[in-house]
Amino acid sequence: MRLAATFLLFVVAAGTVFTASAFFTAGAALAQDVRYISDKQYVPLRSGAGNDYRIIHRGLPSGTRLTVSRTSEDGVWSEITTARGTSGWIRTQYLMAETPAQLKLDTAEAAARSAREKNAELSAQVAQLQAERGDLQGQVNSGTSELQDVSRELSHLKQISGKAVQLDKDNRRLVEESENLRSQVEMLEAENQRLQDKLQSEDFINGAIAVLMGVIITLLVPRLWPKRRRSSGWA
C-alpha cells in the first residue's frame, strides 16, 4: 500500500515536472497565425500549456476567431489571443485553419437572408419602376396624341395661312386694279368734262354764228331782193 502511494506520488511529480518542462521549452509558432475553434465545441482556455493549469475561460464557442502566437514543442498546446484581447493556452487539436462549417452555414444563411431581403427590395423597386414606366408610357401616349393634334392644327393653320397669303395677294392686286380703274375713271371724267366744255363752246359759237348769219341775212336779203315797181294809176 505504501509502495502504491509512493508510485502515485512519483507519477504526479513526474507529470508536474514534465508539464513545467513542456511549458518553459515551448517553441515559437508562426506569428499572427489565424485559427478557429472547430465545430460544436466549447474549449476551455488555460493559463498554461497543460491540463494542470487553471482555466481562465470556461469555454470558447465554435467559430471563435483566434490568433496563435506560439505552440509547445510537442505541438499539443497553442498559445492564442482572442479578438477581445484574452490570451491563454488551448489544445491544438481544437484549432482549424478554415472557417468551421457551422460558421460558414450561419454566414451563408445570413447572406441568403440578406439576399432575400435585397431581392424583396429589388422586387419592390422593380414593381415601382414598372408602375412608373406605365405612367410614363401613358404620358408618352398622351403626348403623342397631343402632338398629332398639334400637327394637324398646324397643318390646318398652314393651309389657312396659305389661303390668307393668297387672299392678301389677291386683295392687293384688286386694290391696285381698283386704283388703276379709279384713275382711268377720273381721266375719263376729265375728258368727258373737257368734251362737254368743248361742245358747249362749239354750241355757243354755232349759236353765235347762227345769230350772226340771221342778222346778216336779215340785213342783206332785203337789199338783194329786187324791188317791185309800184303800179301807177295812170297806167
pLDDT the model gives residue 151: 86
C-alpha 192/C-alpha 177 separation (Å) is 22
C-alpha 214/C-alpha 220 separation (Å) is 10
pLDDT the model gives residue 30: 46
C-alpha 139/C-alpha 168 separation (Å) is 41
Per-position pLDDT tens, the chain of length 235: 433 334 334 433 444 433 444 443 444 444 567 776 655 567 888 989 888 899 988 888 877 888 999 999 999 999 999 888 889 999 998 888 877 776 677 778 888 889 999 889 899 999 999 999 988 988 898 888 888 888 888 888 888 877 778 888 888 889 988 888 888 988 898 888 888 888 888 888 888 888 888 887 777 767 776 665 555 554 4
Query: Cell 484549432, residue?
Result: 95
pLDDT the model gives residue 39: 57
pLDDT the model gives residue 51: 87
pLDDT the model gives residue 209: 85
- Could you give the domains of the chain? 25-99 (2.30.30.40)
Three-state DSSP class for residue 233? coil
Sign of the torsion formed by the C-alpha atoms of 17, 23, 24 and 27: positive
pLDDT the model gives residue 102: 66
Cα–Cα nearest to 93, from 157, 37, 173, 177: 37
C-alpha 61/C-alpha 54 separation (Å) is 19
pLDDT the model gives residue 81: 92
